[in-house]
A and B are shown apart, each in its own frame.
Chain A
Amino acid sequence: MRFNSLYYMAFLSTVVLLYYLVGSRYRWAVLLLASYYFYASWKPEYLLLIAATTVINYFVAVLMASQGEKRKRRKFLKISLASGLGFLFFFKYFNFFAVSIQELLHGTGLLVTSPLLNLVMPIGLSFYTLQTIGYILDVYHGKIEPERHLGTFAVYVSFFPIVMSGPIERSKHLLPQLQREKKIAFSYENVSRGVKLIILGLFYKLVVADRAAIYVNAVFANADKHFGLTFIAAAIFFSFQIYCDFAGYSSVAIGSAKMLGIDILPNFNRPYFAGSIKDFWRRWHISLSTWLRDYVFLPLAYSFSRMWKKEKYFSIRTDRIIYFCAIFITFFLCGLWHGANWTFIAWGCLHGFYLAVENILRVRTRRNLLKIGITYILVLLTWIFFRAASIADAFAIVGKIFTKPGSLFIPQGPDIVAPIYAGGAILLVLVMEFKQEFFPSRFSFFNNERELVRVLSYAAVIAMILSLGVFDGGQFIYSQF
């Protein structure tokens, strides 16, 4: 069940209705049933996996909290991490590592063939694994008490708006909202705000992201046939495709939860108006970047600082070495988390490299147009690695951009409409976000004082989605090159 389907709208309406009809004591049951039904609509077999993750971590957390000694608590922590990361490795990374090792050995002259698994990765596994690890680490460090109600904890792991693609929630933020004692009354504000976020999310996803994808797919599917200018255009389109796709999805997720009176962490904050890479990561996939900061970067930096006691190593200040190492490992893992391919790792490492350089150059946080432009170009370069089919393809594309500009690929005949729609939609998003970034209180439509303007704004955006949205694979570029 996709967020952009009529089925989801019918499903959400039913859940909202049932949620407010039953008493707050049983709302967890409504949410759990809804979440499991939603998850099973993709592949029912994988419900077992999410249920197993829930049961293991529930008992690990409860048992861990009952242990006074840190050594004993660590034993339970290891069980939880081994199960969570084990599932993730098995379903997401086994084939990647098997092939990589095989190729490495092949390079040294050893011909080894390792078996490959023919598995479909469970949807949302990367997201709910991080969310669960965050919970277990919080219990381990004594930041929160373990959730004693299995049903509430099961909802925390599988909550349908966020189970597929986040935002990655924090236990301290989400769990108290799901507890039976929490009485959430039906409110106009929650429903209205939720609907607004859903409509905006659908606009981002259907009108911008899916439209830009048509051109991007046509170019990257035939990377050997295109040249520099085309790749620049495709990279720009892709930067908006991936942003609007993910931000749109997050917006629908946050809006859906809001209709149930549940607040979800924000995930995007106009990232292409960032004045530095550091600023970019404060605005891009915020729930992941803060998760990585709290559970990977800071613990790593802390552990390095305990290991490296001297003031300087190789004439470089230790605090700087610690920052470089911790940031590089964090972004290596960030890349790997995004997908089992060297292209994602390269994307992550590039971001780590940028942040290290910014640290050396002491880039200040004050923004100007030049800084925004440079940041966007640097990010654009990383998207080429993210989107390319292989590292070799990515380097070939970057090479063509600098050496073979060629001519811009403009689809012929009826296919010309794809980039025109995409370009128009991207321009509209830029104008909207520029207004929100620099004039947040002016020209407001959704929050206008006049009701007529507000109502017309809702209706106009829905009308635009109906008129210009991409609802299936029916829109395509026939002549790919």
Chain B
Amino acid sequence: MNMQVLRVVTKSIKVILCLFLLDTVFGKLQRHVFFQQKSGKFYRINYTMDKSTEDVLIFGSSHAAAHYVPDVFEQELGLSCYNAGVAGQQILFNSALQGIALERTTPKIMILDIDTYGFFLDRYQYDRLSDLHPFYYKHSDIIGRVLDLKSRLTKYALESKLYQYNSTIVHVLRYWLSPQEDRKGYRATFVQLPRPVRTMKDGGEAQPPPVQRTRPFDKNLIAALEQFILNAKTRNIRLIFAISPNLEDTNVPVDDALERIRSIADRNGIKLISFINDPDFIRRYELFSDAGHLNDAGARMFSKMVADIIKEEFPDFRRQ
């Protein structure tokens, strides 16, 4: 028995040593290649974390990335601007991203584009935190705290360098071969959504039936929003919450989430700009690239409207 145990222990040590060697060599190689990126999602995340010095930073999901044109804000406000929106990411990720950026820079204004559905219990919001893994070794404090919300074991798995860069190699190669275009983080789309053929006699103007969302809120997500606010407040950064426009009428106003966000914003003296069911955008197919996202023309129009509200709200930033 003892000999058998000894054999298992010896073999295990040999495998672990080999694994450590492979992990160190290939992990470091991957890390080196990863941080050589000049475009793409991970490059933009890295820029926001470690390089951004702009006066205006915009956070949010794909809505943020596709709806806020930094050039428009720069022109209207006379301040430099970077769009840090990341597709598929909500408040947990954005709270970590903001926290890391603020360790190094203090912008004058921050805009958080909010998806109202982003505060309900949702496993995917936690799963998608894996976008933070490659940056763990540099910002382990903040990222570790957020990852703990997902699982306390994740930090141990991140001891492996290969795991830190899990699934990134093809992404890196893809944008090395064909760089992804962005304009200060803004991802423009120039497609126009075709107007659907409507068969209803009234032209399809009917309001959809009210939808009451019943999913419970996730207290971690609400806490992340509060942390986002606190981070800005303690550094005297002006914070704006914005909700992007939608193509079709929705009954989001009856949604609990909007009221919850509004009450948090009111309590903290934060301006909440809601473009839900805004008549300037509703069924304006020429302004959308798909059912949920504005195209470049729509984004420019929307950015101008947000910039105008900021000028009203904070007259000291009005361009002279």
Contact = CB atoms under 8 A, between A and B. Distances in A.
A466 B18 contact: no
Contact of B19 (A421, A459, A475): A459
Nearest to B180: A413
Given A188-B4, A414-B174, A468-B166, A474 B22 contact: no
Contacts of B15: 455, 458-459, 462
Interface string A434-468: 00000000000000000100011011101100111
Interface string A410-438: 00011011001100000000000000000
Nearest to A6: B153
Interface stretch (B105-113, B123-131, B215-223): B123-131
Contacts of B40: 414
Given A186-B1, A467-B169, A478-B87, A472 B127 contact: yes
Interface residues of A, number: 34
A472 B130 contact: yes
Given A467-B163, A467-B167, 16 more contacts: A188-B4, A192-B8, A417-B167, A417-B171, A456-B18, A459-B19, A466-B160, A466-B163, A469-B166, A471-B157, A472-B130, A473-B123, A473-B128, A474-B127, A474-B130, A478-B62
Contact of A467 (B126, B165, B174): B165
Interface in A148-205: 185-188, 191-192
A467 B162 contact: yes
A191 B167 contact: no
A469 B126 CA distance: 17
Interface in B109-166: 123-124, 126-131, 153, 156-157, 160, 162-163, 165-166
A470 B130 CA distance: 10
A476 interface: yes
**Binding site of B, secondary structure by majority: helix, strand, loop or mixed?**
helix
Contact of A460 (B7, B22, B126, B156): B22
A459 B18 contact: yes
Interface string B178-216: 001000000000000000000000000000000000000
Query: Which has the most chain B C-beta neighbours within 10 Å: A414, A466, A472?
Result: A466
Given A6-B157, A455-B15, A478 B4 contact: no
A407 B128 CA distance: 30
Contacts of B18: 455-456, 458-459
A313 interface: no
Contacts of A456: 18
B35 interface: no
A302 interface: no
Contact of B11 (A192, A420, A463): A192
Contacts of A7: 153
A473 B129 CA distance: 10
Contacts, number: 94
Complex A-B, nearest 6 residue pairs according to Cβ-Cβ distance, in ascending order: A474-B130, A473-B127, A459-B18, A472-B127, A188-B7, A466-B162
Interface residues of B, number: 42
A474 B129 contact: yes
B31 to A, nearest CB: 12
A445 to B, nearest CB: 13
B130 A467 contact: no
Contacts of A416: 174
B130 A471 contact: yes
Contacts of A475: 130, 167
B44 to A, nearest CB: 11
B314 interface: no
B7 A466 contact: no
Contacts of A6: 153, 156-157
Nearest to B156: A6
25 contacts: A7-B153, A185-B1, A185-B4, A186-B4, A187-B4, A191-B8, A414-B40, A416-B174, A417-B171, A421-B167, A455-B11, A455-B15, A458-B18, A458-B19, A466-B166, A467-B162, A467-B165, A467-B167, A470-B167, A473-B128, A474-B130, A474-B131, A476-B128, A478-B62, A478-B88
Given A192-B8, A417-B174, A467 B19 contact: no
Contacts of B131: 474
Contacts of A417: 167, 170-171, 174
A192 B5 CA distance: 11
Contacts of A460: 22
Nearest to B125: A473
A463 B22 contact: yes
B23 interface: yes
A475 B126 CA distance: 12
Contacts of A469: 166
B41 interface: yes
Contacts of A473: 123-124, 127-128
Contacts of A463: 19, 22-23, 26, 162
Given A421-B167, A474-B131, A467 B26 contact: yes
A473 B126 CA distance: 8
Contacts of A455: 11, 14-15, 18
A414 B41 contact: yes
Contacts of A187: 4
Contacts of B23: 463, 466
